[in-house]
């Protein structure tokens, strides 16, 4: 079993601890937005350590849409590179936990459809895209099987 290294961002580390420590009954929304989040657990590509990131909850059927927005920053979030290196993830959605495999969506039509769902779930994604020159990556997490 690999070591878990909490996020260097204190509010992220605190939210993960509350979410998981409560069995998925507390810490379920992004700060004061009231909008739901999931916890994505993956392996760090450099350290091999376990990493956990709260992401906005956007779903497409039984699949989860993961948006690598980083608030519209010029670079991808670190977890983007981790998922590209190792696509096996655990997703905690409240008290439910799923083992899934992610893939970056590159087909323009599929990406747009999933992007629209994600923006409906969390409207600031569009503002983030508008303020950055990079195309914000979209992943789909699908049940392993």
Whether 54 has a pLDDT exceeding 80, the answer reads yes
| Across 20-29, average pLDDT | 95
What is the C-alpha separation between 134 and 93, in angstroms, rounded? 29
% of the chain at pLDDT higher than 90: 94
| Across 26-31, average pLDDT | 92
Whether 98 has a pLDDT exceeding 80, the answer reads yes
**Domains of the chain: residue spans and CATH:** 10-143 (2.30.110.10)
pLDDT at residue 32, rounded to an integer = 81
Q: Sign of torsion, CA 81 83 86 89?
A: positive
The pLDDT mean for the chain works out to: 95
pLDDT at residue 1, rounded to an integer = 62
Q: Which residues contact 24 (CB under 8 A, 6 or more apart)?
A: 92, 93, 94, 95, 96
């Amino acid at each position: 079993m690999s070591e878990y290294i909490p996020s260097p961002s204190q509010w992220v580390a605190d939210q993960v601890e509350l979410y998981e420590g409560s069995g998925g009954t507390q810490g379920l929304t992004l700060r004061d937005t009231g909008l739901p989040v999931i916890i994505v657990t993956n392996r760090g590509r450099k350290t091999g350590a376990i990493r956990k990131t709260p992401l906005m909850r956007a779903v497409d059927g039984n699949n989860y849409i993961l948006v690598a927005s980083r608030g519209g920053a010029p670079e991808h979030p670190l977890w983007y590179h981790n998922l590209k290196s190792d696509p096996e993830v655990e997703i905690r959605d409240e008290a439910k936990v799923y083992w899934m495999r992610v893939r970056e969506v590159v087909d323009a039509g599929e990406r747009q459809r999933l992007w629209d769902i994600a923006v409906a779930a969390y409207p600031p994604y569009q503002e983030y895209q508008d303020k950055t020159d990079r195309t914000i990556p979209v992943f789909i997490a699908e049940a392993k099987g």
